[in-house]
Amino acid sequence: MNADELRATQAPLKARYKEDAAAAIVTLRAQGRLGEGVTCKVETGKGLVNAGLHPATGGNGLAACSGDMLLEALVACAGVTLNAVATALGIELRDAKLEAEGDLDFRGTLGVDKAAPVGFQNIRLRFVLDTDASEEELDTLLKLTERYCVVYQTIARPPQMAVSRQRG
């Protein structure tokens, strides 16, 4: 897809959302169901993913780790956003590799140390770009990728969370 095709695809959506802001609000959903052992089967658009404990918490490594899935979602979203922004700006990327890594202290999630945090303490997102773009163009590309990447922004500025329960 080139810049003109991207603009043509997005133009009617942008016009609609400018005219009717409520039309831009879309609720995404995810569902899961408990699986065998200590796992959860998560329905994705491409099939079931069996999520389980990370080996550092007693898992056998056969099930997907939700922490890994979070980093994978960040890489996926940042990659798509990078590609879209590069296309819109007319920046040719011959190749781009994205890497995300995060630091966890498993004492927190295992309850070994109540003072130890639960969750990622640091996340690093790295872009390795093969391009002839100038440094200024690359700065703009990364700035706009950060700005428009949904997963990046959600992690950087956490939304309000609500948890509820009901009997099934």
In a domain, 144, yes or no: yes
- pLDDT surpassing 90 at residue 45: no
Find, among 80, 83, 81, 55, the residue nearest to 68 by Cα: 55
d(CA 44, CA 30): 7
Q: Residue 31: which domain range?
A: 3-156
Residue 46 in this model has a pLDDT that exceeds 90: no
On whether the CB atoms of residues 70 and 101 are closer than 8 A, the answer is no
Q: Quick one: average pLDDT of 50-74?
A: 94
Q: What is the pLDDT of residues 97-121, one digit of tens each?
A: 999 999 999 999 999 999 999 999 9
Position 166 scores a pLDDT of 95
CATH number at residue 114: 3.30.300.20
Which residues lie closer than 8 Å to 130 by C-beta, 6 or more apart? 93, 94, 95, 96
Residue 52 has pLDDT above 90, yes or no: yes
* Closest by CA position to 51, among listed 5, 37, 12, 90: 37
d(CA 90, CA 151): 24
pTM for this entry: 0.91
The pLDDT of residue 85 is 97
Mean pLDDT rounded to a whole number for the chain:
95
Q: Is residue 163 part of a domain?
A: no
Residue 161 lies in a domain: no
Is residue 168, in this structure, part of any structural domain at all?
Answer: no
> Band of the pLDDT at 126, cuts 50, 70, 90?
very high
In the predicted structure, residue 81 carries a pLDDT above the cut 90 = yes
78/75 Cα distance (integer angstroms) = 5
pLDDT tens-digit profile of 145-154?
999 999 999 9
Q: How many domains does the chain have?
A: 1
Asked whether residue 164 is assigned to any structural domain, the reply reads no
Within a domain: residue 162? no
Q: Look at residues 86, 85, 72, 82 and name the one whose alpha carbon lies nearest to residue 123.
A: 72
pLDDT 10s digits, 8-37: 999 999 999 999 999 999 998 889 999 988
Structural domain includes residue 128: yes
Residue 49 lies inside a defined structural domain of this protein:
yes
